[in-house]
Amino acid sequence: MAVSAFVREALLRLKTSSLVIKAIGLISSYDIPFGADYNFDMSDGIDVEKTLLALENIHGPVSTTAPPRLATIVNLLESGDLEEDEVHALANELKCIIQVHRKNDAELMTTALQTLGLRLDGDVIGGLTKRTLKSHLPFGGSECWVCRRHAEEYDDQFC
């Protein structure tokens, strides 16, 4: 078994991201839009859950940084036995969870990146550029890290 401290730290966040992606996908399967800020198509992508299991087989099992309610939401959505108003309520709850988790997890992610020896005091790190979202947008005023393609594509959304 090969064990990487960074991969184990990253797996915590990847498992959380996997749950979020799964929840959003399940919500969209009910033909309920989750929101323009979460517009992505994973249908031709890799199977994230299988990839995480493979990484855990190499680096050891890890928990997740997700709040327990996130897994409950995924389980409820997977049941396929919900009314439209229930799915809307879960979608709104998920948006709140994402917003809170996004703020709370920033320090943990910073620590994980520092274990790689990355200097985090610049405007460009590992090919990503720090941008600030305009205040009228969801998460307005928040800093985010985007690749060059998305920085150019969504330039009108950044300060």
Q: What is the mean pLDDT of the chain?
A: 81
Same-domain check for residues 45 and 69: yes
Same-domain check for residues 85 and 149: no
For 127-152, how does the pLDDT look when each residue is reduced to its tens digit (9 = 90+)? 778 888 899 987 788 888 788 888 88
Task: Tell me what pLDDT residue 122 has.
Answer: 63
Same-domain check for residues 105 and 126: no
| Residue 1: pLDDT over 60 | no
| Domain count along the chain | 2
Same-domain check for residues 107 and 126: no
Task: Tell me what pLDDT residue 106 has.
Answer: 66
Q: For the chain, how many helices (H) and strands (E)? A: 6, 3
Whether this prediction's pTM lies above 0.85 is answered by no
| 115 vs 63, higher pLDDT | 63
Query: For the residues 70-84, what does the mean pLDDT come to?
Result: 92
Q: Which domain holds residue 104?
A: 5-113
Interstrand relation of 124-125 and 128-132 (parallel, antiparallel or unpaired): antiparallel
| Residue 67: pLDDT over 70 | yes
Task: Tell me what pLDDT residue 36 has.
Answer: 67
Same-domain check for residues 89 and 128: no
Same-domain check for residues 74 and 141: no
Task: Tell me what pLDDT residue 128 has.
Answer: 79
Task: Tell me what pLDDT residue 134 has.
Answer: 92
Same-domain check for residues 63 and 30: yes
Same-domain check for residues 15 and 69: yes
Which residue from 14, 108, 104 is spatially nearest to 59, judged by alpha carbons? 14
Query: For the residues 22-26, what does the mean pLDDT come to?
Result: 87
User: What would the two tokens of residue 82 be?
Assistant: 């919900």
Percent of the chain with pLDDT over 70: 80
Same-domain check for residues 149 and 109: no
Same-domain check for residues 132 and 78: no
Same-domain check for residues 135 and 152: yes
Query: For the residues 68-87, what does the mean pLDDT come to?
Result: 92
Same-domain check for residues 42 and 84: yes
Query: For the residues 36-43, what does the mean pLDDT come to?
Result: 63
| Rounded CA separation 128/149 (Å) | 10
